Structure 1
């Protein structure tokens, strides 16, 4: 298992050994998209103000105009980013205009749950003014992630350039570029330039595997870390004839399990690691603390729980990094709990001071 690198690209390697590469969006392009979205929101808010004023004039009620404007503004501010990203496959109008898209950490499409968490934590990223905490987080982590991205497991990438049929028809047959031979060992590795051998030596020659054996190798590669040794040996023994045909020398010297492990490593599949329960619990309690910061009786216990679960999960993941994932989620949940706990503590202190002053 390789740790995340700090390159400007996200590279995804599928079980079929097809690599997808996404360019991580920079701060400048994200800021431009945010400016466009803010202008759109401002225009719609002005339209809502005019509409509310018209309704207030019709019914001769200033309170009605204020109520309508507040309700419409709340719906717009709360739902614009959430609905746009959930419905438009990770794109708001601003992101679409500058060709940006929100995807999952592994390149998968954005889900409704991820969009909800990402935009709920946007409240914290916006503090103290116009994404101050979010910008600071982007600079610190170097992977183009704000707190909302850490919480939801998302990433903002540049959308791929659209190619029309006219463009394809204009390409001459003799000018077709040769296919890339860059290799990717895992989703965390950087693509190797064409023709350049990896640091460990020349790349292994391609093998033609039996379809049944290939399915076994792909499934085994993704779950190898979760299987006990006895189960791994039993799987290798059951496929020994096919493994012997594919890697006769390895089976003869190291046995069928060594051959199965070698084929799994050739697939370049990152073993599946379950999310640590403490990381999910820390995120849940952290979000609850942020939502109920105005209720100290709820926010104080949930804030403490987010810190306890987050710290415990971080320690467990550090101790066994190949077994669990969720370090970012645990850290973000703990941070949200700390922020919510600090805010609710200030509110509680003000209430106590006001009570004594009035007394």
Structure 2
């Protein structure tokens, strides 16, 4: 994952394409280019029947340059960053701010690709991709673009990575998360996304270390008995909720400047839990619940996380519940 910042200062988390997937897309594009080039050269060769040899050589050079440079330039401009190979693998070329690629950027990538792949056999592209954090080749560096993974794996469609457990919702609204850096939040998010891929001992040790780093910059501390992964999930969910609230506030202010009403129907806004933070969501009245993760005494039931997170409909994500009573 990489974080791109748009022109409106909105951070986007995008999955940068891996070297293997880009190599597969490149091989497919080279196959299509060779097919088109052979067809064009066959048509050019037929001109020798009506023109001299110099005219045919000039047309051949023009055809080679047009196919090798024009193929990626035309496809990436018309299809908004996708060639036939990238379309098959699920990749897309975007600008550094996450916007669609322009003709100028596609032309720079095509000219640089001709030098990188056809003159220097791909060595500069390979070396640059290995040492660049976003996997950019020289053409991407010159054009200001990045290749992202557009087709997400099926495991990423189960739901959000970080969720707020119901028992921690009240505590979460009192959190101070302004000191939580984007790098630490990304590390915690990657840990939750790979939670079920890790071995139990490594998962617990890594979760305790990341939870300690988060606890050092986030206050107040969690209630006693909260597992590290549940604590990390609650902090990230509250941070995401506040960011969405700020975006909604900016959108509402923009609508008001345009003379429109936002939201369309006026509704009472609940009191804010923290000064400068988003309003607490309205909760439907219901029977009082015991305090989360509290120890009422010996022999009394207490709230505990389920022993097997991987069972049931929550397999693959950190579940918000159902939380059950344990002995």
**TM-score relative to the length of structure 2:** 0.50
Normalising to structure 1: TM-score of the pair?
0.46
